């Protein structure tokens, strides 16, 4: 009898220990699709991420840029200039086509290596589907670079100005979520770390990065085409103009709002830093490439939408 009591007591102790460890790791069951919402602690790597890889082989993964461009879309409802420069405008999609619908608004920042060659148009299908899912979408265009003209800090100044202008939009929104892809994720992280900007936007709840460029100094040392374009954004190859590189690097800043990151392990354009200096909620898809997150038919997109609705 004493042996049985000892075994029962031991099992209870072990269960309590497991529960305590789970609580410390910040893991809890979240949405209706079975995602776990996990905070990656200070300087922990991708092994701490939540796996959202689709089990169904029919789901689309590792999609190419050309497939994103081929997607159908609904025309935006409004174009609004937030400045006098040709690239200082935003495109507004109403939630389900209804400007009066009270809904969250997504401030969408497109990627494209900060280059003039890639404009806002490749995210029209993404904005369309997000609006179909019940979000207003403020899709921001901004000044970008080429081989002769750097766009730091102008690109970020435009994002900041476009976000401040959101209070003038003729839609009824109850909260703001920043959503940035690739280079747009980099600019979104800068916004999320901008204390005075966040103070002006009390309804700003989170920043969601999709294959976001997080450590621009590390990224500039790579040799793929987008990594090589970093020098055009800053105005010099790394390690020249180190002050500008550091000022443009979110990794050296403190985040002012919660950060959510989505990353595909098949992404040849943007990898994930070895460590992060701030806690994030990290979701990883083993099969996803760089453009899956901006393709509404991809397997990862449904997880993204669910997370946006939960924020």
Handedness of CA 218, 271, 283, 20 (dihedral sign): negative
The C-alpha atoms of residue 152 and residue 66 are separated, in whole angstroms, by 28
Does the residue 97 lie in any domain? Answer: yes
pLDDT tens digit sequence for 237-284: 999 999 999 999 999 999 999 999 999 999 999 999 878 999 999 999
Query: How high is the pLDDT of residue 13?
Result: 38
Tokens of 149: 């003209």
Does the residue 35 lie in any domain? Answer: no
- Residue 240 near residue 221 (C-beta atoms within 8 A): no
Tokens of 311: 């924020």
Q: Which residues form the domain of 164? A: 47-310
Region 49-73: mean pLDDT is 85
The C-alpha atoms of residue 186 and residue 207 are separated, in whole angstroms, by 11
Give first-to-last CA distance, the chain, whole Å: 51
pLDDT tens digit sequence for 90-142: 999 999 999 999 999 999 999 999 999 999 999 999 999 999 999 999 999 99
Query: How high is the pLDDT of residue 275?
Result: 84
Tokens of 277: 């200096």
Does the residue 6 lie in any domain? Answer: no
User: Helices 154-164 & 183-192, crossing angle to 10 degrees?
Assistant: 60
pLDDT tens digit sequence for 144-165: 999 999 999 999 999 999 999 9
Does the residue 175 lie in any domain? Answer: yes
Query: How high is the pLDDT of residue 292?
Result: 97
**pLDDT at 39 > cutoff 90:** no
- Residue 92 near residue 137 (C-beta atoms within 8 A): yes
Does the residue 288 lie in any domain? Answer: yes
pLDDT tens digit sequence for 64-95: 999 999 999 999 999 999 999 999 999 999 99
**pLDDT at 5 > cutoff 90:** no
Q: Break the chain down into helix, strand, coil percent, rounded to 5.
A: 35, 20, 45
The C-alpha atoms of residue 182 and residue 109 are separated, in whole angstroms, by 9
Does the residue 29 lie in any domain? Answer: no
Domain count, the chain: 1
Tokens of 143: 């000044």
Does the residue 300 lie in any domain? Answer: yes
pTM assigned to the model: 0.86
Phi-psi region of 51 (alpha: psi -120 to 50; beta: other; left: phi over 0): beta
Does the residue 58 lie in any domain? Answer: yes
Beta strands in 94-135 (DSSP E): 103-109
Query: Domain of 79: which CATH number?
Result: 3.40.50.1820
């Amino acid at each position: 009898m004493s042996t049985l009591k000892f075994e029962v007591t031991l099992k209870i102790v072990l269960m309590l220990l497991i529960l305590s460890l789970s609580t410390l790791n910040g893991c809890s069951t979240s949405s209706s699709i079975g995602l776990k919402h996990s905070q990656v602690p200070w300087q922990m790597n991708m092994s701490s991420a939540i796996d959202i890889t689709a089990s169904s082989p029919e789901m689309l993964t590792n999609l190419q840029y050309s497939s994103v461009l081929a997607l159908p879309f609904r025309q935006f409802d409004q174009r609004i200039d937030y400045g006098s420069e040709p690239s200082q405008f935003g495109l507004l999609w109403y939630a389900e086509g209804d400007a009066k619908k009270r809904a969250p608004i997504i401030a969408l920042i497109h990627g494209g290596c900060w280059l003039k060659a890639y404009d806002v148009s490749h995210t029209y299908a993404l904005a369309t589907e997000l609006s179909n899912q019940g979000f207003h979408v403020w899709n921001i265009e901004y000044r970008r670079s080429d081989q002769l003209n750097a766009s730091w800090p102008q690109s970020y100044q435009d994002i900041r100005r476009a976000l401040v202008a959101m209070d003038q939009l003729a839609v009824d929104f109850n909260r703001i979520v920043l959503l940035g892809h690739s280079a747009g994720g980099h600019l979104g992280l800068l916004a999320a770390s901008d204390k005075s900007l966040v103070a002006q936007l009390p309804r700003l709840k989170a920043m969601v990065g999709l294959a976001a460029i997080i450590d621009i100094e590390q990224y500039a040392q790579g040799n793929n085409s987008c990594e090589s374009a970093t020098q055009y954004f800053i105005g010099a190859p790394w390690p020249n103009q180190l002050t500008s590189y550091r000022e443009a690097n979110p990794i050296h800043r403190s985040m002012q709002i919660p950060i959510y990151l989505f990353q595909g392990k098949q992404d040849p354009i943007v990898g994930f830093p070895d460590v992060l200096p701030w806690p994030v909620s990290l979701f990883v898809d083993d099969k996803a490439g760089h453009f899956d997150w901006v393709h509404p038919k991809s397997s990862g997109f449904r997880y993204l939408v669910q997370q946006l609705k939960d924020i």
